[in-house]
Amino acid sequence: MTKKTVLLISCLVFLFCGCSKTNKNTVVFEVGGAPNEISFWEEIIKDFQQQSGIKVEIIRQPTDTDQRRQGLVVALKSNKNNPDVFLMDVAWISQFAASGWLENLDNYLKADKVDTGIFFKNVINLSDKYNNNTIALPVYVDGGMLYYRKDLLNKYGFNNAPVTWDQLIEYSLKIQKQERKTNPGFYGFVWQGAQYEGLICSFIEFAGSNGGIIIKDNQIKINTPANIKTLGMLCDLIHIQKISPPNIFTEMKEEEVRTFFQQGDALFERNWPYAWSLHQNDDSAVKGKVGLASVPHFAGNKSASTLGGWHIGISKFSDAKDLSWEFVKFTVSYETQKKLAMKLGWNPGRKDIYKDREIKQKFPHFSYLGNIFENLTPRPNLPYYTQISEIMQKHINSALSGKTNPETALKEAELEINNSIKRYLK
Amino acid sequence: MNKELRSPLLFIAPVLTFILIFILLPVIGTVVTSLYKDITYLDNKFIFFENYRQIFQDPGFWQSLRFTMFFILVSIPLEMLLGLIFAILIDQEVPYKGFLRVCILIPWAIPAAISSRTWELIYNYNYGLANFICSFTGISVQPVNWLGTSLGAFFSLVLADVWKTTPFIAIILLTGLQIIPGEIYLQAQVDRANFLQRFFKITLPLLKPVFIVALLFRTIDGLRIFDIIYILTHGGPGGATASLSHYSYKYFLAGDFGYGSAVSTTLFIISFLLSLVYLKFGKFQNTLS
């Protein structure tokens, strides 16, 4: 054998070693997020390994939700035995479950006598059940809410946060006019309006405060007078009252909205709970000046808050299911969930954390959040939700940009949705 | 097999295997998938051309096809023209020639994702450079929402793409210019041909094969435009800037592989047909030989 052949063969051997299966005694956990989130998970894994002696390997993913989903879909679609455990955005659980990729957790729960009553009941029912099987558990919960500037409302003689949309518009118009004298870039209300999933989260909330989207017998009704009114109001916020900046429908995603508000340039902000601790940072212009309230509603209706958050599940193709369950159990344990809140400021899926003394001291707003989380509005819980969302994003964003009027936008969206979901019905 | 044929085959075998595994197989796989109803939560079903039939009835597909076609029709002529000008300029005997060439190449050397992020900062409504220039020079008092209208978003994308790919054209055309023998120009000077005459009678005809190659590359590249759209507009506002690749990517993400593959295959057929047209009009075979 010549030298070259030896080299070639060893190269190939190394190549295939890379593809070999990992040890069955190892749990492979796929998770993404910002660097501080990843290091949090690494810490958790270290604790788990010390306690249980089970080895956990981490597969790092990017921060972007779509890219995290893409990574998981590729592995699960090809029935790979890795990853064993992963985090899922609440918006994709039904697709994963309907594809048969998630292990039924009921037997594990029963064997270990874990009571799902420790989690928010409606969160479990709305997102973690598929055909009456429990297929995931909530790691942390999100719900949309209204942040407001306490100091500015007081300064201009308003005692409470707005309850209805009319009040929000009234407060904004008055305060914006006055504040512009010193800060010409000041706006009344910022929210997520770019063409992406976050737009649908806001829209479901705003529409939900006026009746909402109706799903019945695989027909989706969004073209209702109430929804047209809601969308009309959103367009007016940008183009008529001008209390929302014109880049709402091009650039405003969670982080853009948060920084805009945090620089002291807005009176109201619609965002997820994560923004709270960041607003309290030392470099924040609104530190100590922020209040938290439910998103306003239309007169004679109730506020809505969109259900978000990440859930943990076990792959059906996993080769280490029992060990994986141990890890899942560990992530939803009291200690880990408390750490999640203390270290990252996230809102745990367990209810009992919200009554913890230490937590209450550090995050006084948690008790308020606990109430909101009892009544969250889910996004349509369908395996083909993503397609519906894509179509809605396109048409709603088009109306916000002023290209089409709200009536046409919703009419076209409903038509396109009901046409395209025919493909996805059995 | 005779020996004369065997050894060249042996030489190209590694490349052939590589192409087979990494290019041909995935392409065939995509075409096959496009004939199936391949949705993660439904049973796989062979449905012949049903996906294609649905594509042609889908308003979203036509919208993204229209956008993609307009996009290459506007951006590529601009890129070719500017690329030609730059190529001729850096072909001249100017001081610091090497330095100039490097400068012109920089946009092409930056990864598309990063340069798109830069453009995102330039177009930003609140603190973007474009709005800063507008207010500083007094062109517009109110900030402009560059990506806020269909037309605005379209031309913002065109500008970002032209900036990025003009250097690529310039470099290809520069090599084309350098293989034109200098004697021809000397001869023309003896015949007292002026600059324009030399350009139209010598440079352009001799540059044509290279020009066509550059045009072909850019057209195929432009048809599958994805990165700058993914970062700058996400297909917005209101779906006005969704390109074909962006459109098929969305289906892939949602787990509808059959439909997504059918869109990709359609895109492949369109670029294949366009390439044939170029080769026909470019009379590629004749000019090369």
> Is A58 in the same domain as A128?
yes
Residue A58 three-state SS: strand
User: A419 exposed, middle or buried (CB, 10 Å; 0-12, 13-18, 19+)?
Assistant: middle
Does a structural domain hold residue A9?
A: no
pLDDT, residue B32, reads 96
> Is A174 in the same domain as A191?
yes
Contact B150 A195 (CB under 8 A): no
Contacts with A399 from chain B: Cβ below 8 Å: 238
> Is A279 in the same domain as A347?
no
> Is A246 in the same domain as A356?
no
Three-point CA angle A406, A407, A410, nearest 5°:
80
Among A95, A194, A398, beta carbon nearest to B41: A95
DSSP class of A164:
B
Does a structural domain hold residue B289?
A: no
| Contact yes or no for A61/A348 (Cβ under 8 A) | no
Candidates B58, B125, B146, B246, partner chain A, best to mutate (most A CBs within 10 A)? B125
Half-sphere exposure of A188 (CA within 13 A, CB side): 24
pLDDT at B281 over 80: no
Does a structural domain hold residue A17?
A: no
Q: How far is residue A187's CA from residue B141's CA, in Å, rounded to a whole number?
A: 17
pLDDT at A2 over 70: no
The answer to whether residue A62 neighbours chain B at the CB level (below 8 Å) is no
Domains identified in chain A, total number: 2
> Is A286 in the same domain as A399?
yes
Question: What is the torsional sign of CA A324, A326, A329, A330?
Answer: negative
pLDDT at A285 over 90: yes
The answer to whether residue B59 neighbours chain A at the CB level (below 8 Å) is yes
Q: Indicate which CATH number applies to the domain containing B188.
A: 1.10.3720.10
pLDDT, residue B289, reads 42
pLDDT at A18 over 70: no
> Is A166 in the same domain as A264?
yes
pLDDT at B257 over 90: yes
> Is A136 in the same domain as A150?
no
Does a structural domain hold residue B251?
A: no
pLDDT, residue B195, reads 84
Mean pLDDT for all residues in chain A: 90
Note if the bond before A83 is cis, omega within 30 degrees: yes
Does a structural domain hold residue B259?
A: no
Q: How far is residue A87's CA from residue A38's CA, in Å, rounded to a whole number?
A: 12
The answer to whether residue A99 neighbours chain B at the CB level (below 8 Å) is yes
Contacts with B42 from chain A: Cβ below 8 Å: 424, 426
Q: Which run of H or of E encompasses A203?
A: helix A197-208
The answer to whether residue A80 neighbours chain B at the CB level (below 8 Å) is no
Tens of pLDDT, residue by residue over B152-193, are 999 999 999 999 999 999 999 999 999 888 888 888 888 888
Does a structural domain hold residue B249?
A: no
Contact A403 B41 (CB under 8 A): no
Q: How far is residue A228's CA from residue A234's CA, in Å, rounded to a whole number?
A: 10
Domains identified in chain B, total number: 1
Q: Indicate which CATH number applies to the domain containing A76.
A: 3.40.190.10
> Is A122 in the same domain as A187?
no
Does a structural domain hold residue B58?
A: no
**What end-to-end distance do the CA atoms of chain B give, in Å?**
29
Contact A250 B148 (CB under 8 A): yes
Half-sphere exposure of A277 (CA within 13 A, CB side): 11
Cα Rg of chain B (Å, integer)? 23
Contacts with B250 from chain A: Cβ below 8 Å: 386, 390
Q: What token pair was written down for A214?
A: 């109706």
Domain that holds residue B137: 64-243
| CA distance, residue A95 to nearest chain B CA (Å) | 7
> Is A96 in the same domain as A232?
no
pLDDT at A420 over 90: no
Rounded to the nearest 5°, which phi and psi values hold at A78?
Answer: -95, 20
Contacts with B256 from chain A: Cβ below 8 Å: 387, 423-424
- Tell me which residue of B268, B274, B266, B264 sits closest to B56, measured CA to CA: B266
Does a structural domain hold residue A3?
A: no
Query: Among A200-204, B2-6, B10-14, B269-273, which stretch is predicted with the lowest mean pLDDT?
Result: B2-6
The answer to whether residue A259 neighbours chain B at the CB level (below 8 Å) is no
| Contact yes or no for B221/B208 (Cβ under 8 A) | no
Region A366-387 average pLDDT? 87
pLDDT at B222 over 70: yes
The answer to whether residue B157 neighbours chain A at the CB level (below 8 Å) is no
pLDDT at B226 over 80: yes
Chain A residues 169-198 with CB within 8 Å of chain B:
185, 194-196
Contacts with A426 from chain B: Cβ below 8 Å: 42
Domain that holds residue A196: 145-304+384-424
Residue A274: CB atoms within 10 A of its CB come to 17
The answer to whether residue B236 neighbours chain A at the CB level (below 8 Å) is yes
> Is A200 in the same domain as A281?
yes
Q: How far is residue B104's CA from residue A380's CA, in Å, rounded to a whole number?
A: 51
> Is A127 in the same domain as A195?
no
Contact A400 B237 (CB under 8 A): yes
Buried b (16+ CB within 10 A) or exposed e, A40-65: bbeebbeebeeeeebbbebeebeeeb
| CA distance, residue B110 to nearest chain A CA (Å) | 21
Q: Which run of H or of E encompasses B196?
A: helix B195-198
Does a structural domain hold residue B283?
A: no
Does a structural domain hold residue B123?
A: yes
Q: How far is residue A172's CA from residue A59's CA, in Å, rounded to a whole number?
A: 46
Contacts with B236 from chain A: Cβ below 8 Å: 194-195, 249-250, 397, 401
> Is A368 in the same domain as A401?
no
| Contact yes or no for A168/A296 (Cβ under 8 A) | yes
Does a structural domain hold residue B18?
A: no
Per-residue pLDDT band at A87 (split at 50, 70, 90): very high
Q: How far is residue A85's CA from residue A63's CA, in Å, rounded to a whole number?
A: 18
